[in-house]
Structure 1
Amino acid sequence: MIILAAVTNKPKPMKLLKYLFFLLLIILVGGAIYFGTKDGSFDISKTKMIEAPSEVIYNNVKDFKNWETWGPWMDDDPDLEINYAEKTEGEGASYSWKSEIVGDGSMKTLKVIPHKEIDQEIVFNTPMGDSKSEVYWRFNDTETPGQTEVVWGMRGEQSFMEKVFMGLFSDEDFESTLGAMYDEGLTKLDSVVVQSMNNYTVSVDGVTQYGGGYYMFNTTSSKISEIGEKMGPMMGQVAGFMAQNNLQSAGMPFTIYNEIDQANGTVIFSAAIPVKEKVITAEGTPVLCGFMDPVTTLKTTLKGKYDFLPKAYEAAQEYIQKNNLTPHPSANMFEVYATDPGEVPNPSNWVTEIYIPIVTPVEPQQ
């Protein structure tokens, strides 16, 4: 009878399933409360100081086609399929991507403040539906000339299902993963931008006639290594004098090398700006008016930083020797700065024309 009673009181299978169902329901309700009350808002950003003007960095970031060279996701999936819209830069620009590894999505530029800010919308196509977030860029000038603080971030709100998915099925922390990706992207962007500013080309254009004319100038002696340091203030003084006296420029600024002592590493040079006619200046003024006679020259063009001027002079001297050209015994060589660095932020696009006066040119060898 005792054994029978024990068998009779054993829980029935249906009753056990009922207990398990209620237990599962409690777990689900508890999980829903937990994930539902968990803050899903996020704002993740990374910052990097890049040794480049804000205009140069902005001009790279503003065009989605450039993102292929520094986007960190390109390494995650080399087979990433990218489709560009007709417009890829500025407000309204967009592109989309497909990937079995990083997923599908799209991005659109909503607002730009040139050289300062870019606001974009990014959409991820997920199993739980489309997820939208805001991507933002900030390009802040620093106290160091030519240096920019770049901020790249993303902010938004995770949906309930996204919070559940990230909490239950993802082994990676969302903020850490995104932050690491942005760090990598900014490091690559830094490398790409700095490299772009160091690109240069040198072309020897051949023998040409330079027309000469009047110019305003000031002169100083210097170590060859200090020319760049002294050139800016000198040009500023000439430009300031012309503005004060309502003198119009007749061409781009240039430098005249009056005397070069390679042995001692010194030079006497003039910073000059062309004018249309002769100007009589007051006695004692540091800015004077000069005149250059028309002259036959070998013209060489550098496109790039002024740091690469020695390369351009090397090429010019090689051409002179190869083609048996004779440097002029008294006329001074000079450089014309065909672009204004204030208007052309990327130094790889600066154009400097070098003129070396010569006598009796001969037919160049083929």
Structure 2
Amino acid sequence: MKIFKYLLFLILILIIGTSIYVATLNGDFQIEETKIINAPKEVVFNEINELRNWQDWEPWSGEAEDMILNYSDNTSGEGASYSWKSEKMGNGAITTTKVNPFSSIQQEITLDAAFGESQNEVYWKLEKVENGTQVTWGMKGEQSFMEKAAFMFREESLSEMMQPRFAKGLQNLSAAIEKKMDVYAISVDGITQHGGGYYMYTTTASKVSQINEKMGNMIEDIAAYMDQNNIERTGNPFVLYNEWNQENNSAIFSAAYFTPNEVITPAESPVLTGYMPNQKVVKTTLKGNYDNLQEAWDKAYAFIQQNNLQLSEEGKAFEVYLTGPEKSKNPAEWLTSIYIPVQ
């Protein structure tokens, strides 16, 4: 009987001692992972800020087929939240508490595990770098007594368990963003009439591969010139192709803006005035990155050939940029119209 009492006493001492030891352990933790994603800050921020996008790349859903998601009415910005239930992964919720557009996001994550409920801070930091955006995803907080006790008997610490998942999540995020940015669509809208009109332009010659790079700077220069001289712009910028030499991989093209009326410029002006007649054209629309423009042109010319149309001898083909980098950082949202004059 005395031995039994001694054993109980020893067990009690062991429990008290272990409890004291666990209580004195530092429960503070911080888990952080960083990755450079080949995308603009704005695109990365919008992907993370919209909580419905998370199911495309967060690493936990793939580990639990029974996970059920529920979203709040607001799923982006401050106050947005969603929760999940899963017998395998446990229950939890995440709420966006603070947003600094295109730079940082702060969130609160609540986890309902077997050893009790815990609340910790999740944070995102976005920094523009040469190759895209450096994304830092982290979580920090303080483990409860039960959490510290539970991890005493595990082979992995909390950081060791979570770090690979954060790394996997950022890899998934990068792949999801690049996939969405690559989405494009081409439609040949058919024959229509373009009204033409006066326009202001500058002209240059370049390799075909350099057109996209040069035309952006040229359009900016024309817009600045027109603003400085109080000249009204009509519609969107466009590029007029004066000559195209496929064999030499070269082109002569003009970047331009339409104007309501003819503008007489000084002889030394770097920007000139031109006129485009009202003409019949085949219109083609590209929604997506400019990298897909060649395919759009090919489809436009295929339509012309299939319908036995004749190209205009005097008309010059042109592209109108309805939505471009100045309006959206996501190439999938860029909208370009191609016009090819026909007889």
- Say which is worse superposed, 311-320 or 276-285, in terms of deviation: 276-285
Of the three residues 61, 64, 73, the one matched with 2:60 is: 73
- Residue 319 of structure 1, CA deviation: 0.5
The residue that corresponds to 1:55 in the other structure is 42
1:174 match: 158
Q: Distance in 2 between matches of 1:89 and 1:235?
A: 34
Structure 1 alignment gaps of length 5 or more: 1-13, 360-366
Residue 123 of structure 2 corresponds to 136
Q: Aligned equivalents of 1:128 and 1:177: distance in 2?
A: 17
Once the two structures are superposed, the pairs formed by residues 1-366 of structure 1 within 5 Å of their partners are 14-142=1-129, 144=130, 147-168=132-153, 170-359=154-343
Corresponding residue SS for 1:324: coil
Greater mean alpha carbon deviation, residues 14-23 or residues 271-280: 14-23
Residue-by-residue CA offset, 1:184-211 (whole Å, 9 max, x unaligned): 0000000010111111100000101111
Note the C-alpha offset of 1:158: 0.6
Shift of residue 21 of structure 1?
2.1
Give the letter aligned to residue 108 of structure 2.
E
Q: What TM-score do the two structures reach when normalised by structure 1?
A: 0.91
Q: Quote how far apart the aligned CAs of 1:171 are.
A: 2.9
Q: Name the SS of the counterpart of 2:220 in structure 1.
A: helix
Q: Distance in 2 between matches of 1:153 and 1:327?
A: 58
CA drift at 1:41: 0.8
TM-score by length of 2: 0.97
- Partner of 2:201, secondary structure, is strand
Shift, 1:246, TM fit: 1.5
In structure 2, how many angstroms separate the alpha carbons of the residues matched to 1:20 and 1:129? 30
**In structure 2, what is the Cα distance between the partners aligned to 1:187 and 1:307?**
24
Shift of 1:29: 2.3
Task: Give distance in 2, aligned partners of 1:52 and 1:254.
Answer: 25
Please give the secondary structure, in 1, of the residue aligned with 2:233: coil
Letter in 2 for 1:167: M
CA drift at 1:301 = 0.2
Aligned residue type for 2:161: T
Aligned mates of 2:156, 2:83 — CA distance in 1? 25
Which consecutive residues of structure 2, in runs of 5 or more, have no partner in the other structure?
Answer: none
Q: CA deviation at 1:33?
A: 2.1
Give, as a single letter, the amino acid of the residue that structure 2 aligns with 1:133.
Answer: N
Identity %: 46
Bigger-Rg structure (1/2): 1
| Matched residue SS, 1:318 | helix
Shift of 1:232: 1.8
Partner of 1:362: none
Per the TM alignment, residue 129 of structure 1 is displaced from its structure 2 partner at its CA by 2.4
Deviation at 1:31, TM superposition (A): 1.2
Q: Residue 234 of structure 2 aligns to a residue in which SS?
A: coil
CA positional deviation for 1:26: 2.4
